[in-house]
Amino acid sequence: MYYIGVDLGGTNIAVGIVNEKGEMLKKGSVPTNAKRPADEIIKDMGELCKKLITEQGITVDDVEYAGIATPGTADHDNGIVVYANNLPFENYPLAAKLSEFSGIKKVLIENDANAAAKGEAEMGAAKGCNNSVMITLGTGVGGGIIIDKKVYSGFNYAGGELGHVVIEVDGAQCSCGRKGCWEAYSSATGLINMTKAKMQETKDTVMWEIAPTLEAVDGKTAFDAMRKNDKAGKEVVDKYIKYLAAGLINMINIFQPEVLVIGGGICKEGENLTKPLQEYIDKEEYARSNKQRTTVKIAALGNDAGIIGAAMLGF
């Protein structure tokens, strides 16, 4: 049997065909053009599914189901997207629509961060675990909770907003309206804001060579400066890691997952990131004297986590 996974992003729709072992056999993508009516977007999604099915030399009847990783609040019991920020979905019957446009009988849906967590739990860094939590450090801080191998998203499908946990009352403004959310510190955006603030504070830093203007600052600027023994760069990195650790230890104290997966571009920093994080965890985790402790791992599936997780939603 075959399974189709769809990762519906604001820019592209990525589709993959996966076998029963979770291996990706074929992959393709088309632009989302997110400002169109929802039906037009899903029509293109359906066409891409049909095209890949044909290219794979199978028929729609060989597909057990398709799974869609979508932004927003995904009612996975009824296949309806309750609401999405960047896409024209409001109580939109996403599952039924893809079924209509592709001919695939059964379609499952899940929020994209949750689907990525499911992918990592089935085929990635948390493979084989019953309980895991995934944190994605991107434009925001995304979260996905896997309990008993299933996505947990609360009674109204809106749970798992792990980035919107306040770690500093009255702290940095978050896009959600609260102040001091973890996301405001530990997202790439948060890191860039910290870097810019430090650069405005001091002219005496290599960061002004790496990024001659504030517009040129990215998530690597401070780390690159640190590698050149820049004091200000190291201070930014130290602060970033301190806040990231605070949020991660919160998640461990709450969930004690077998594996806590961290994903997102910043993870390319490798040991510069994970070593100091682990030191904080060893010092502060509530169950630090336990024999059995949560393992923190870098995500293994990269950009494929959403497709693979979506394809394995029924597993």
Question: Please, which residue, 49 or 121, has the CB nearer to a second copy?
Answer: 121
Q: How far is the CB of 247 from a second copy (least distance, A)?
A: 8
Q: How far is the CB of 110 from a second copy (least distance, A)?
A: 15
Q: Which is nearer to a second copy, 200 or 289 (CB)?
A: 289
C-beta closer to a second copy: residue 200 or 292: 292
Cα–Cα distance for residue pair 164/174, rounded to 1 Å: 8
Q: How near is the Cβ of 164 to a second copy at its closest, in Å?
A: 5
> What SS3 state is found at 166?
strand
Which CB, 174 or 199, lies closer to a second copy? 174
Q: Exposure of 193 by Cβ count < 10 A (0-12 exposed, 13-18 middle, 19+ buried)? A: middle
Instruction: Give the residue among 77, 68, 13, 6 at the shortest CA–CA distance from 41.
Output: 13
**Residue 138 vs 265, nearer CB to a second copy:** 138
Token reading at 162: 């792990």
Minimum separation from the CB atom of position 138 to a second copy (A): 17
Q: How far is the CB of 166 from a second copy (least distance, A)?
A: 5
For a second copy, the closer CB: 70 or 294: 294
Residue pointed to by tokens 């993508």: 29
- Of 286, 295, 305, which Cα lies nearest the Cα of 259? 295
Shortest reach from residue 82's CB to a second copy, in Å: 7
CB of 272 to a second copy, least distance (A): 21
| CB-nearer residue toward a second copy: 56 or 78 | 78
Determine the Cα–Cα distance for residues 259 and 143; give it in Å rounded to an integer: 14
Handedness of CA 256, 259, 265, 270 (dihedral sign): positive
Q: Which is nearer to a second copy, 63 or 181 (CB)?
A: 181
Please state, in angstroms and rounded to a whole number, the distance separating the CA atoms of residues 135 and 271: 17
In whole angstroms, the minimum distance from the beta carbon of 178 to a second copy comes to 5
Cβ atoms of residues 299 and 134 within 8 Å? yes
- Distance between CA 302 and CA 124 in Å, rounded? 9
Spatial distance between the Cα atoms of 269 and 199, rounded to a whole number of angstroms: 21
Smallest distance from a second copy to CB 2, Å? 30
Query: Which residues contribute to the site for a second copy (CB under 8 A)?
Result: 73, 82-83, 129-131, 143, 145, 147-148, 152-162, 164-169, 171, 176-178, 180, 242-243, 246, 249-250, 253-258, 283-284, 286-287, 289-290, 292-294
Task: Please say whether the beta carbons of 17 and 56 come within 8 A.
Answer: yes
Angle of CA points 105, 107, 75, to nearest 5° = 145
Burial tier of 304 (Cβ tally within 10 Å: 0-12, 13-18, 19+): buried
CB 31 within 8 A of CB 41: no
Which residue from 164, 170, 166, 266 is spatially nearest to 224, judged by alpha carbons? 266
The residue among 46 and 143 lying less far from a second copy, judged by its C-beta, is 143
